[in-house]
Amino acid sequence: MNLSIKHWLYAGAVGLLITACDNRLNVVPTQSIEQSQALNTEQDVQITLVGTYDGLSDVNLYGGGIQYIGDLMGDNRDVLFGGTYATIDEIWRKTVTTSNTVTRDFWLDGYNAINRANNVLSALTKVGEANRGNIEGQARFIRGALYFELVKAFGKSWNDGNPTANPGVPLVLTPTTSVTDADYRARNTVAEVYAQAIDDLTKAESLLPATQSGGTGFATKGAAAATLARIYLQQQNYASARDAANRVITSGTYALEDNFADVFNDATNGSEIIFKIIVTDQDGANDMNTFYASSPNQGRGDVRVQSKFRALYATGDVRGTFFNTAGQNTFTSKFNDQYGDVPVVRLAEMYLVRAETNLRLGTSVGASPLADVNLIRSRAKATALTTVDLAAILLERRLELAFEGQQLADIKRTAGTVGTVAYNANNLVLPIPQREIDTNKKLVQNPGY
């Protein structure tokens, strides 16, 4: 299937087809729509799929929100949030309220994109056999990835109590074309949501090609496997996480960039990025640039990296100098390009997943843990280690993946702390938005809110 970047221009039209949107030009009520009018042909389904990607790229999802929520909620003054957005300041201070609009829109936009994916999956009979598997795989990838992100944020960690009893998020697997009482769903358990995400991504991996004509902005076999590696790692299913990461590494589709800085340069990062959000000066937005970049780099300069964190890098490690200063403040250089694509998952992370899981299991599938860690350190010009333990691997994750959204997830799965706050504290789980609680009486609020 040829999905060119031009198709992103259809995103607004797709929103009219599958959501109740607030468009000033829209004079026909769109609270409901006759599905037979919306998805009649393969082209309709393809356009809807592109609209699903557009939803996934929203600034409250992989356009930045998912990443900075994961980092700021897990931050212990490694950074200082100096911005004027009270909603993001709440996230950084772990004092999120039920009316927080950032977390509200994370929920709303997540389910909006899931609904678009459900529309695609409901209309696969309209797609010819040549494209059907690829389209199904892409829709399942998006749905599975978003359910994983939602349950991580709004549900307790897998290792906190009983995931088969703890409430996760509602599973909606069919299109919502109009809102009735039947659409007000109770929260499925954490285990049920994980199972659905794994099912979607496992099927996606089996259906998707190794590469897409649109590049790494579209789901591939490797993107599905990499997301599965994250999910299994979060579950502490180390053998499955190791094997998924190893499939990505040994696929031959990806390669580490020679220079660390090139990973974050759209002109040079073609081989390492497994999945990203495409941003152009015509479409898309990069909220990592908005909040993490300095004002000379078109950002707001809100997230300021402290010397405490920079001191974790040893002398000679180029990652420890991948910062820039403006005035008295220091900023990461990972998101300097206002129109730069937003990386979601990259190959370096898969090496670190494989290293950690091999170490925990006492295996050397693909390579030894020491070899994988030193491969990442070598690229960073950091001194090679002679031995490696779990603490060293977890530190390497912090140094390599800083500001890429994995901080809180790592703290939770390893039962760590955010400062003095335990990994299973109530305020490290986002509240169900009050708007949803008020609308859907079947929803139960998280403890502490």
Taking only the tens place, the pLDDT of each residue in 114-131 is: 999 999 999 999 999 999
Token couple for 25: 């030009």
Split at pLDDT 50, 70, 90, the class of 6 is very low
**How far is the first Cα of the chain from the last one, in angstroms, to the nearest whole number?**
46
Look at residue 406 and tell me if it is in a domain: yes
Look at residue 343 and tell me if it is in a domain: yes
Q: What is the mean pLDDT of residues 60-64?
A: 98
- Closest to 386 in 3D by CA, of 395, 377, 398: 377
Give 262-302 pLDDT, tens digit per residue: 999 988 777 999 999 999 888 888 999 999 999 999 999 99
Task: Give me the percent of the chain exceeding a pLDDT of 70.
Answer: 92
Give 33-49 pLDDT, tens digit per residue: 445 457 999 999 999 99
Give 224-275 pLDDT, tens digit per residue: 999 999 999 999 999 999 999 999 999 999 999 999 999 999 887 779 999 9
The reported pLDDT for the residue numbered 38 is 76
Token couple for 444: 């139960």
Q: What angle do CA 225, 143, 342 make, to 5 degrees?
A: 70
CA distance 148 to 227: 9
Give 368-387 pLDDT, tens digit per residue: 999 999 999 999 999 999 99
The reported pLDDT for the residue numbered 99 is 98
Give 135-187 pLDDT, tens digit per residue: 999 999 999 999 999 999 999 999 999 999 999 999 999 999 877 777 899 99
Token couple for 224: 């599905």
For the chain, give the mean pLDDT: 92
258: containing domain:
5-431
The reported pLDDT for the residue numbered 37 is 59
The reported pLDDT for the residue numbered 277 is 96
Buried b (16+ CB within 10 A) or exposed e, 289-308: bbbbbbeebbbbbbbbbeee
Q: Which residue has the higher pLDDT, 194 or 283?
A: 194
For residue 129, give the CATH number of its domain. 1.25.40.390
DSSP structure string for 3-55: --GGGGGGHHHHHHHHS----TT--S--SS--HHHH--SHHHHHHHHHHHHHH
- Going by their DSSP bridges, the two strands 421-422 and 303-305 should be labelled as unpaired
Q: Does 26 have pLDDT greater than 90? A: no
The DSSP code for 329 is E
The reported pLDDT for the residue numbered 397 is 98
- The answer to whether the beta carbons of residues 340 and 279 sit under 8 Å apart is yes
Question: pTM for the whole thing?
Answer: 0.92
Give 295-321 pLDDT, tens digit per residue: 999 999 999 999 999 999 999 999 999
CA distance 254 to 199: 24
Look at residue 446 and tell me if it is in a domain: no
CA distance 141 to 114: 10
Domain count, the chain: 1
Q: Does 16 have pLDDT greater than 60? A: no
Look at residue 264 and tell me if it is in a domain: yes
Look at residue 445 and tell me if it is in a domain: no
Q: Does 3 have pLDDT greater than 70? A: no
The reported pLDDT for the residue numbered 282 is 84
Look at residue 157 and tell me if it is in a domain: yes
Q: Does 349 have pLDDT greater than 80? A: yes
Q: Does 192 have pLDDT greater than 70? A: yes
CA distance 19 to 117: 12
Task: Give me the percent of the chain exceeding a pLDDT of 90.
Answer: 86
